[in-house]
Chain A
Amino acid sequence: MNERWRIVRAPAFDPRSDDDLQVNGPILAEWLVDFLTDEITRRRGFDRAIVGISGGVDSSVTAFLCARALGPRNVIGVRMPYRSSSPESLEHARMVVDALGIGCETVDISDAVDGYLAAQPDADGRRRGNVMARVRMVVLFDLSAKMGALPVGTGNKTERLFGYFTWHADDSPPVNPLGDLFKTQVWALARHLGVPEVIVNKPASADLIVGQTDEDDFGISYARADRILFYLLRGYRAERLVAMGFPAADVALVKARLDSTHWKRHMPTTAMLSTTSINDYYLRPVDY
């Protein structure tokens, strides 16, 4: 070893590091509370919000943020179980309601879902899950009209990028505080906000099929997927990610999901016929 020229080396890239996905909980929470206050109250003139609460971490975090933004008495949590939904989900949703002191409605969607599916005996699990998600949106928007409360969405960035949601159902509420946060970042925010540990620590599940978990459906953990998504969205090519140390199979899986679901992140495709085509030529922002 040379005594004079000691080498001071920058650390090597670690594909298992979460450094790039860290969030500053206090600053982020305050920002999202301001977002909800401004977008719900100032821009849209509502003073109440309605959130479908599943007992999962995304809707719990959303309810916590809404309660801070509008006051608990101005937030309604709606539980919408289907007959096969986990009783634990219903119980966890109740924990959120009790922890925050927000209003609570429970609407069992079983009859509505089964009424339709009775005529569709060949519906597989995917179709049945989509019907449940769409019925939940019908309920949420109807209760919104009944109560004068704006629906607030709960979808996170990872599920949006994976297309892991029912189009024009889960993604339909007009305001969404979590849509630019990866799932692992939502977990971090949940811990900062004080969402009950049992909700934060349980495996994420859409609870559309008994025993289902998101990560089983994906074939990859959120932790691994989020790191790869982070770099893909920054503009890194798949081959570079592999060279950086990410497993090639993981990169391929994540990229395939991302590339096959762009359509789900857009409005319907309209045939453009004029030079005043809406959102092509005629451009006005959502809050104009």
Chain B
Amino acid sequence: MEIEIAVGQLKPRKADYDANLEAVGEIFAVLETEAKPVDLLVLPETALSGYFLEGGVRDVARSAASLHSDLLATFRSRVCRPDAVLDIAVGFYEIADSQYYNSGLYATLTASDDAVARPGIAHVHRKFFLPTYGVFDEKRFVSRGRRIEAFDTRLGRTAVLICEDAWHSVSGTLAALQGAQLLVVLSASPGREFGGKAIGNLERWDVLLRGMAEEHGVFVVYAGLVGFEGGKGFTGSSRVVDPWGRTLIRGPVSQECLVRARLDLDDVAVARGATPLLSDLESAVGDIAAHFHRAASVPSGPGWEPRL
């Protein structure tokens, strides 16, 4: 199955939800000018507000339902083809059950009720690993998500990860074990370390995203925020990686842009057929689970008993 992908690499206006929604509307309009209709638009972590908000999270957080409603209204105001359908994955600060999260919405938008698909929310991923070190302070302002889940979409089985989620190899593993063929990674990654051939965090992302794709035989779509917030600049470099770990396209470091690629999900089976690492993993998952269970339950290990 072929999928037309677009990644919107944008600089949000700080804490200005309406202006950022308007920018998403502009992207909808630009995508309509593409020769082939885009199936999935991916936008970065916190695309509707900017990332470093501290207590301002409480000012800008939205429910997933209200965000979907706003995106749907924006899509319908910008897109004229009555049969237009677009899936969207977008990062936002969420309020749900009186708690705040750093979340990713995956939803379907339709230009009218005559479209072949129905509009609706397929999934909300709440960031599982909240960075709270150095420049990051997420645990102070948002709660941690409790699940990493693959889910079915009209385009294939998908999972959403947010930034540090993808720095833990176990996240991609959990998604792949649940059948994900497409991993969508939403990110706001501040640039740091300028001594190497590339900016330090980008060198890390290269290894992580290619490794994740190649290990599990999945497509990885990475959306990176751009722009500076209080001296911290985000490194963009949105990209699409195929199941062999090859980067098909990669956006610039600093500029806003739309990154486009066409995927064929049949490549997932081809890659896994040649290198069946996921199958090997599935056959060993019971033993691995036993290790995890022991690690989580046995009262031992560093820090458990003070060594004097």
Binding site for B on A (CB under 8 A): 20-24, 27-28, 30-31, 34-35, 38-39, 42-43, 282-288
Contact = CB atoms under 8 A, between A and B. Distances in A.
Given A34-B254, A38-B228, A285 B197 contact: no
B194 A42 contact: no
Contacts of B198: 27
A139 B296 CA distance: 62
B227 A42 contact: yes
Interface in B184-204: 191, 194-199
8 contacts: A22-B195, A24-B196, A39-B228, A42-B227, A43-B14, A282-B55, A284-B54, A284-B55
Contacts of B53: 284-285, 288
A34 B11 contact: no
Interface stretch (B90-98, B169-177, B229-237): B229-237
| Chain B contact residues, majority secondary structure | loop
B205 interface: no
B56 interface: yes
A202 B67 CA distance: 58
B111 interface: no
Contacts of B194: 23-24, 27-28, 31
A283 B14 CA distance: 15
B55 A283 contact: yes
Give the interface SS of chain A, mostly helix, strand, loop or mixed: helix
Interface residues of B, number: 23
Contacts of B197: 24
B228 A43 contact: yes
A274 B254 CA distance: 41
Contacts of A286: 230
B52 interface: yes
Contacts of A288: 14-15, 53-54, 56
Contacts of A30: 253-254
Contact of A31 (B15, B56, B191, B229): B191
B205 to A, nearest CB: 15
Interface in B42-79: 52-56
A145 B126 CA distance: 46
B199 A31 contact: yes
Contacts of B199: 27, 31
Contact of A38 (B15, B55, B196, B227): B227
Nearest to B233: A35
Contacts of A28: 194
Contacts of A22: 195
Nearest to B254: A34
A27 B203 CA distance: 13
Given A284-B55, A285-B52, A39 B195 contact: no
A288 B49 CA distance: 10
Given A27-B194, A287-B14, A288-B14, A35 B228 contact: yes
A22 B194 CA distance: 8
Contacts of A21: 195
